[in-house]
Amino acid sequence: MSAFVFFLLQMGGLESVITGLMDEFKDFFDRRKYSREIFTSFVLFTSFCMTLINVTRGGGYTMHWFDSYAASISLLFSALLEAIGVAWFYGIERFSENIEEMIGHKPGLFWRLCWKFISPIFLIVSTLS
């Protein structure tokens, strides 16, 4: 059952990537016939080739390597830079106005304090520990 759920998650993830890229480069794809089918085939073939390494003898090692480096400190550091960039460089007021445009009301004081102070502090502590 869980394999089926993970398969559906993979399909949804690939669909969102394909749709996002096709929407971003709409002019390029609109001029070509069967562009969605060809691009989807290209993305699926590329994904298949990238995952072939996991079924080789070194697949366990590469998975451990990816798990150790890609999902640890670098992810926390990226989140920290994003939180600081949005809260301090882009500005909480501008970010709150953007949120208001999306959901119809301005975020409360709690959320603005979390974005500006609490989230960066927690991410710094998590990154350093």
Q: What is the Cα–Cα distance from 99 to 61, expressed in whole angstroms? A: 43
Q: What angle do CA 5, 7, 12 make, to 5 degrees?
A: 95
Residues 12 and 33 sit within 8 Å (Cβ to Cβ): no
- 67 with 20, same domain: the answer is no
What's the pTM? 0.54
Residue ending a domain, choose from 55, 70, 89: 55
Looking at the structure of the chain, the number of domains it has is 2
- Paired tokens of 121: 């502090």
> Which residues constitute the domain of residue 30?
1-55
- 29 with 83, same domain: the answer is no
Q: What is the Cα–Cα distance from 49 to 42, expressed in whole angstroms? A: 11
Would the pLDDT of 89 be above 90? yes
User: What mean pLDDT is predicted for residues 95-111?
Assistant: 90
Residue ending a domain, choose from 15, 38, 55: 55
Would the pLDDT of 4 be above 80? yes
Q: How confident is the model at residue 11 (pLDDT cuts 50, 70, 90)?
A: confident
- 48 with 80, same domain: the answer is no
Query: pLDDT digits over 18-65, tens only?
Result: 888 888 888 887 777 778 888 888 888 998 888 888 888 888 888 888
- 75 with 102, same domain: the answer is yes
Place of tokens 């959320």: 111
- 72 with 120, same domain: the answer is yes
